[in-house]
Amino acid sequence: MKNNFARLSLADLPVGSSCQVCSVELAGLLKRRILDLGIIPGTVVECIRKSPSGDPTAYGVRGATIALRHDDASQIKVSLI
């Protein structure tokens, strides 16, 4: 795994790329839901596809596919792997 110190957001991840979650900067119930889905620091996430309009985007997380809106994904900081 190579280190990428430039902190990207999950929303910046190109389709077909993988990353490791650094931090979840959401708040309240949405943060709890994201954490419950397994998106916690250290988790590997893959960008599977983006909808034709670009929002939402499908991500592979721990064997499951989840869709996140751009605004929510932009508050999840990641590093490329």
pLDDT in tens, 35-79: 999 999 999 999 999 999 889 999 999 999 999 999 999 999 999
pLDDT in tens, 13-23: 999 999 999 99
Whether the ω angle into residue 41 lies within 30 degrees of 0, i.e. cis, is no
**Whole-number Cα distances in Å, 20 to 16, 29, 48, 74:** 14, 22, 15, 14
pTM recorded for the entire structure: 0.88
Given this model, what pLDDT does residue 7 score? 77
Confidence of residue 1 (pLDDT cuts 50, 70, 90): very low
Report all structural domains of the chain as residue ranges with CATH numbers, in order of start. 8-80 (2.30.30.90)
Judged against a pLDDT cut of 60, whether residue 3 lies above it is answered with: no
